[in-house]
Amino acid sequence: MHMKELMPRLPEWAKPLLRRARNFVKALLFFWNKRYCPVCDNSSHRFRPYGRTPREDAQCTHCGALERHRFLWLFLQKKSDLFDGKRKRMLHVAPESCFKPRFEKWLNGDYITADLSNPHAMVQMDICNIQYPDESFDVIYCSHVLEHVQDDKKAIREFFRVLAKNGWAILLVPIYSDRTFEDPSIEDPVVRLRVFGQEDHVRRYGPDYADRLREAGFFVEITKVGDLINRHEVERMGLTPACGDIYYCTKA
């Protein structure tokens, strides 16, 4: 019997007891399900630590999604037309395991994964020399790759070239500095770790990263976590500053 149906049938002395019991159960469920992952639609007590210097409460225990993945999934659902049922051809560079099966299922044969060295990707690809004709893709998604690429401006121009006229791209990088810094002469992994934060990074991006996208011809819309959800949802989904911003690029 539903709570609303049960309450009128109880004696007055029992109603406060039932309300307290209900609130206790809600509090208990909230305690054990404090975190929610929108990617896999699962709850958990907390997320796993993740990172070279482990970030607490970062990775979904069910699908492996990190902060930036959870934020992106919300954006795709709320701010993009990816799931409107219309046919779209998508290029996914360096495919994340939390996304790949979901995009495959939704896009069927119109989904292509690409990577320079990952043997599990469908296509081996250098994003500085993409082997597809102009305007081949309606959607391009590339996350945390450009910081590994020496000529990132050429790669961005290639993304612009193969994006359809009415398509869109989400090109994400970690933003760690007030302004982008790079030095091609730094090749020692130890020095790269110290200067760029990782042995295989070749630059540290700042908010001026958006200018690089615009230089290639993109119109760029920047979305922050607070633009999509309220503070309670931010906390429940573990969307810390590590998730960064969304750079949504179109051919203006």
Domain range annotation of the chain? 65-251
For 89, residues 6+ apart whose C-beta sits below 8 A from its C-beta are 107, 110, 111, 112, 136, 137, 138, 139, 164
Which residue type is seen at 203? Answer: R
Under 8 Å between Cβ of 110 and 88:
yes
Question: For every one of its 252 residues, what pLDDT tens digit does the chain have, with 9 covering 90 and above?
Answer: 455 555 566 566 655 665 665 554 444 444 456 899 999 999 988 898 998 888 999 999 999 999 999 999 999 999 999 999 999 999 999 999 999 999 999 998 899 999 999 999 999 999 999 999 999 999 999 999 999 999 999 999 999 999 999 999 999 999 999 999 999 999 999 999 999 999 999 999 999 999 999 999 999 999 999 999 999 999 999 998 889 999 999 997
For 65-251, the fitting CATH number among 3.40.50.300, 3.40.228.10, 3.40.50.150, 3.40.640.10 is 3.40.50.150
The whole-number pLDDT of residue 10 equals 57
Q: Are strands 111-115 and 123-124 parallel, antiparallel or unpaired?
A: parallel
Task: Supply the pLDDT for residue 132.
Answer: 98
What's the confidence (pLDDT) of residue 53?
Answer: 85
Closest among 167, 134, 171, 135 to 252, alpha carbons compared: 167
Q: What is the pTM of this model?
A: 0.85
One-letter amino acid at 71 equals: F
- Looking at residue 81, what is its pLDDT? 96
Nearest to 97 by CA among 140, 132, 143: 143
Which distant-in-sequence residues (6+ apart) come within 8 Å of 50 by Cβ?
58, 59, 66
Measured CA distances, 103 to 7, 72, 116, 140, 164 (Å): 46, 13, 20, 12, 19
Query: How far, in Å, CA of 121 to CA of 107, rounded?
Result: 16
